[in-house]
Copies of this chain bind each other. A is one copy, B any other.
Amino acid sequence: MPAALTAVQRTLSNGVHLVATPVPHTAAVSLYVASRAGSGSEPVELSGVTHFVEHMLFRHGSHEPGAFACAIERLGGQINAATEPELTAVGAKVPSEAWNDALQIVARMVHEPTMDPDEIEKERTVILDELALLDDLPEESARRSVLARLWPNHPFGREIAGTATTVRALTRDALLRRAVEMFAGRNTIVSVAGALDPSAVLDVLADVFGSVPAGSREAYPVFHANGQESGRVQVIRREAEQAYFSIAGFTPGRASRDRYAIELLAAVLGAGFGARLVLELRERHGLAYDVSAELGYCGKHGVLSIDGATDPDDLTRAVAIVLGELSDVADRGVTEEEFERARAYTVGGLVRSLEDSAVVAAWHAREQALEPSPLPPDALIDRVRTVARSDVTASAQACLAPSWPLIAVAGPLSDNTDIPTELVGSGGG
């Protein structure tokens, strides 16, 4: 990792955390303004309020529709925003010489919540359309069923965008209050990456964000796994050509010493065309066009999710093969060959992604917002490199107990669809 990628950081007295990272040889500067407030702290009746505010950022400060986005795009840049369970962020990438102009625009978006009532009503119908688009994806119904049962009675198990009922009921007051909470000083992280002098950048950022009220740091409700889960498999009947499956369970969280071993376990199983589940389901059995394994984190937990689709007649067999491979990896561990592929693929992908200033800017802000011990990219790559094959095998054994997975399937399925549920004796490749 070249020293050029070393971030310079500063925390202002109002709590705003600033990061500037030099990325030489790039013609673009990336800004990433993040809030520590995501959807995961919402009371159930306000479900979707954070995501609604994220949408409204683009309607703030002006009555000209799309004024902020147009302004960024006229600079030759691009802008987007996203809401996650534990973070909300606006990201922009612009030609280097325009970075200060872009910063002023993004700062207005997060600090001038006009919340014009007419604009709220327009955005409400846009969000209802977004929810309906998600309803049209059969894989979403499987995914949602698993998440809701994994996190019973906790916002981590709810849809980030809320439901049609909650979105219809959100008031201007609730949106305004949430907007102020989200971008209070103690919740704000501003990260800039590009071919710039980092200390000069920090001075500019301190000027722009120094006078924001501190507010209070976002707190998330603690999750207690308390056995409300009813049934390990849910079968969702809906018209479709394919049958969709979602299989997920908890893994060690961000603070666990097994974390990087589990990251490589997820890569062994599902990252790239050479991953074990892809080789088994697609290459060896011809049963699925696509299957993936992804690792995410919420609160103190990790979640490993395996999603795919297959012909409805092959669904039982496909799920049995996935569970069989999970069982096998827990019983017999990973081979040297698949371990090396997963490690090289993971490290190679990380190194390449860091050539993009947008990845670098987001990296440091996200570490600051989400991680108990924020790491620079080179330190993370070192940790991945020092994981041993035996660590991956041990973490699979510790994590993948027979009753580990929750499962949902969605598609044109009959009442007596028989889906295996446990890792032990569930078949195999």
Contacts and interface: CB of A to CB of B under 8 A. Distances in A.
Copies in the complex: 2
A309 B133 contact: yes
Interface stretch (A21-29, A177-185, A320-328): A21-29
Given A122-B285, A286-B125, A351-B95, A341 B70 contact: yes
A241 B76 contact: no
A278 B79 CA distance: 14
Interface in A259-274: 272-274
Interface in A61-78: 65-66, 69-70, 72-78
A79 B273 contact: yes
Interface in A105-141: 121-130, 132-133, 135-136, 138
Nearest to A58: B273
Contacts of A347: 76
8 smallest beta-carbon distances between A and B, as pairs:
A76-B348, A122-B286, A65-B283, A70-B274, A69-B273, A132-B241, A25-B25, A125-B286
Question: Chain A: interface residue count, which band?
Answer: 35 or more
A355 B72 CA distance: 20
Given A78-B345, A136-B138, A272-B78, A311 B351 contact: no
Contact of A289 (B27, B66, B133, B282): B133
A273 B66 contact: yes
Contacts of A401: none
Interface string A25-44: 11110000000000000000
